[in-house]
Amino acid sequence: MKEKTIKKLTADVLILGGGLAGLYTALNINENKKIIIASKEPLGKSNSYLAQGGIAGELNTDEKVLAKHIEDTLIAGSGLFDKDAIKELVYDASENIKMLIDLGVPFDVDQDGKILLTREGGHSTRRILHAGGDATGKNIMETLIGLIRNKKNVTIIENYMLYDLIVKDEKCYGGQLISMDNEFCNVFADATILATGGIGAVYRDSTNAHGATGDGIAAAYRSGVELRGMEFVQFHPTVFYDTTGTIKGQKFLISEAVRGEGAYLLNINGERFMEKYDKRLELAPRDIVSQSIMKEMYDTWSEYVYIDARHLGKEFLSQRFPTIYQKCLESGYHMEKDLIPVAPVEHYGIGGVKIDLNGETSLANLYANGECCSSGVHGANRLASNSLLECIVFGKRIANEINKKSSSKINSWEIDIPFSMNKNSYHPIREEIRNTMSKYVFIVRDEEGLKLALTIINRHYKNLCKHPFTTVDYYRTLNIATVAKLITEAALARKESIGCHLRIN
Ligand code: SIN
């Protein structure tokens, strides 16, 4: 077999992921620490960048005000949360949001310079900051990317994905990376942070960036790191439904903030229906709205419902939601005149690598942050816009922990990689897993469907494990199969309905 070179790098801190969870953590780590950020895609191609609605958080630290945010998060989470983690999330919000403002994030303000706030499902009040109207993630990320690229202590390696952690004597010492051209790089570090993002690629339809194959979760699982809550997958209720079937790939979100500003949901017969399901109507928590839409779709024999924002008018809609307005226009819809077809699709993986209040996982020297982690703040159903907040609050806490530790001489060693390349395309396997997940492990779940799904997924998973190849295509597929298996097993084990996990038998 042809010899391949394996690059070997060392750092004090290895951050795996270039979204908000990774970059904000990096910006809070002391400058005397050498940091390597490895990102599977060029910086800017992440779920954080796509975030529309905003970032939840109270700048007013009055106890009563904070108690309401805690209460809303607890209600949405349906009992399966970690209350201490939620308290930290809410109490640490203002300090971290102020840091984003100080770093230069241009949150939207009124004529007097006062921050504008919006509302989304499950929030009892307006407490969501936004930027560029509906381009909050883009504005936050562009600010942070600009700053991180100028940091002397930070090296950024783009287009490299994590395929396995480096583990010795029950400690993590970094990660094994593979580039999109199948080049290898082992990064050894005192501290490793998983910030690898979401799992959208496990489903046929998702709002996620294409790279969301759950790499951090799958690699952690292979190393025996504790995971939690994998059955809880959040389906966003209002994702643009392309009635022409021509738009391929990543799905486009009609932000919950559109409902927050007063839009309604109608079934295909033009009837407003949310009053049948929840007194909070269109602003009920996301699990309830998605499940109600599914019921309406079933009862009206339709693949979508409508969002009706016509009464909000062209001027307001095009200014407050410029990205959404433009996207709808490109598909031939005028928001001020037309009903927009929408349906639920995969949006956010709530479960993941279990962390404590300092972001530490069950493996020494390994931390996790953002969508790949389970901090306990989202319970069985994430409250809208709490996820960007989780990235900054826990990012800061992880940075604080790492800053307390003195730098040591970083060990590195040779790691054998079996250079077995093959030219097989794993695409058909990924397609079958995605179709299976979208059919049987979607919003409404039952035992028979879950068992069937697990049989199909396990057949692929076992075959992939039996015939390993060190290529990006292989690991992408193995990771999708691994995450699909973990979600389906957890969904089968949880027999009761709770939050976004709805079991009909
Ligand atoms: C949205 O804008 O509707 C998405 C917000 C979120 O997922 O938290």
The last residue of a domain, from among 345, 368, 383: 345
Q: Which residues are paired to 236 by β-bridges?
A: 345
Q: Is residue 495 part of a domain?
A: yes
The answer to whether residues 300 and 222 belong to one domain is no
The answer to whether residues 324 and 364 belong to one domain is no
Report the nearest atom of ligand 1 relative to the CA of 52: 2
Count structural domains, the chain. 3
The answer to whether residues 202 and 241 belong to one domain is no
The last residue of a domain, from among 306, 321, 345: 345
Whether 254 is in the pocket of ligand 1, judged by its Cβ within 6 Å, is: no
Q: Is residue 413 part of a domain?
A: no
- 1 pLDDT above the threshold of 60: no
Length reported for the chain: 505
Q: Is residue 87 part of a domain?
A: yes
Q: Is residue 315 part of a domain?
A: yes
In this structure, the strands spanning 154-158 and 117-118 are: unpaired
- Distance of alpha carbon 287 from alpha carbon 439, whole angstroms: 18
The answer to whether residues 269 and 339 belong to one domain is yes
Ligand 1 centroid – CA 175 distance (Å): 31
The answer to whether residues 242 and 326 belong to one domain is yes
The answer to whether residues 40 and 152 belong to one domain is yes
2 dihedral zone (left: phi>0; alpha: psi -120 to 50; beta): beta
The answer to whether residues 330 and 185 belong to one domain is no
Among the listed residues 119, 204, 286, 494, the single catalytic one is 286
Residues 419-435 pLDDT 10s: 788 878 999 999 999 99
Residues 254-299 pLDDT 10s: 999 999 999 999 999 999 999 999 999 999 999 999 999 999 999 9
The answer to whether residues 24 and 169 belong to one domain is yes
Q: Which residues are paired to 175 by β-bridges?
A: 165, 187
Residues 314-363 pLDDT 10s: 999 999 999 999 999 999 999 999 999 999 999 999 999 999 999 999 99
The answer to whether residues 260 and 159 belong to one domain is no
Ligand 1 centroid – CA 464 distance (Å): 34
CATH code of the domain in which 491 resides: 1.20.58.100
225 dihedral zone (left: phi>0; alpha: psi -120 to 50; beta): beta
Whether 52 is in the pocket of ligand 1, judged by its Cβ within 6 Å, is: yes
pLDDT at 416: 83
Q: Is residue 372 part of a domain?
A: yes
Q: Is residue 259 part of a domain?
A: yes
- Distance of alpha carbon 188 from alpha carbon 477, whole angstroms: 25
Of 257, 302, 315, 316, nearest in space to 282 by CA: 257
The last residue of a domain, from among 320, 345, 370: 345
Q: What is the mean pLDDT of residues 443-465?
A: 98
Q: Please state, for a pLDDT cut of 70, what percent of the chain lies above it.
A: 99
Q: What is the mean pLDDT of residues 89-107?
A: 98
CATH code of the domain in which 56 resides: 3.50.50.60
The answer to whether residues 137 and 105 belong to one domain is yes
- Distance of alpha carbon 154 from alpha carbon 143, whole angstroms: 16
pLDDT at 333: 98
Contact yes or no for 233/500 (Cβ under 8 A): yes
Q: Is residue 415 part of a domain?
A: no
222 annotated active-site: no
- The residue whose CB lies within 8 Å of the most ligand 1 atoms, and thus the one to mutate among 47, 120, 207, 348, is 120
pLDDT at 3: 63
Please give the angle made by the CA atoms of 83, 86 and 92, to the nearest 5 degrees. Answer: 140
Q: Which domain holds residue 321?
A: 236-345
- Distance of alpha carbon 482 from alpha carbon 479, whole angstroms: 5
Please give the angle made by the CA atoms of 393, 324 and 120, to the nearest 5 degrees. Answer: 45
The answer to whether residues 247 and 355 belong to one domain is no
Residues 57-77 pLDDT 10s: 999 999 999 999 999 999 999
CATH code of the domain in which 338 resides: 3.90.700.10
Contact yes or no for 391/24 (Cβ under 8 A): yes
The answer to whether residues 131 and 187 belong to one domain is yes
Residue 375: how many CB atoms within 10 A of its CB? 26
Ligand 1 centroid – CA 413 distance (Å): 43
Q: Is residue 412 part of a domain?
A: no
